[in-house]
Amino acid sequence: MLGHMGATGRSPMGILFLVVLVDMLGLTLVIPFLTYFVQDLASAEGIVDRGSRDFWVGVVIATYSLAQFIFTPILGSLSDRLGRRPVLMFGLLSNSVFFIVFGLSGSLAMALIARFLAGAGNGNIAVTRAYIGDISEPPISSSMPIFQHDVFDSVHTSVQEVAREPTSRGKVRL
């Protein structure tokens, strides 16, 4: 049973679920076209070796996670001082802005910076869990993070399976 209801009398759990979903999708949303986009940017900068271009694809993917890793504790600390909602709104806004900047990037450096800043602003997992802890009674707040992880791990795995290259479906890899 939730200990806190929003101003409308409804629980904010649905919104928090969507915030976490956006946070999780932020990493994988661009992967289907990222390879081509980064390879085009690298080729424009004179990086024509396929291995080097693929290296930069990996760097751009990892940059988002690195920024989340660095800034999640910082955003969590800020949410303790400023409140949960302003930090969550900042994260969603910065994620939106920097996804647009990433899509409009004309250079590899700009793409890296935009991806890093999107990850930095979107480290909302700790803030969301703290918010759930604030509005939940002890039995729910202690089990919810595990539940969230299991649900999003399942969703993430399912999305990856569907998005895989069609020629690799049905093959068993050891």
Separation of alpha carbons 63 and 118, rounded Å: 10
Task: Name the DSSP class of 6.
Answer: -
Neighbours of 47 (CB within 10 A): 17
Separation of alpha carbons 61 and 57, rounded Å: 6
Cα 165 to Cα 30, 35, 47, 101, distances in angstroms: 15, 13, 25, 27
pTM of the complete model beyond 0.85? no
Taking the chain (174 residues) in runs of 10, the rounded mean pLDDT of each run is 55 83 80 87 87 88 91 90 91 90 93 93 85 73 52 56 52 49
Taking each helix axis from N to C terminus, what angle separates 125-135 and 50-82, rounded to the nearest 10 degrees? 30
User: What is the per-residue pLDDT for 145?
Assistant: 54
- pLDDT tens-digit profile of 21-47? 887 887 788 888 888 898 889 888 888
Helices (H), the chain: 13-28, 31-44, 50-82, 84-103, 108-121, 125-135, 138-163
User: What is the per-residue pLDDT for 138?
Assistant: 65
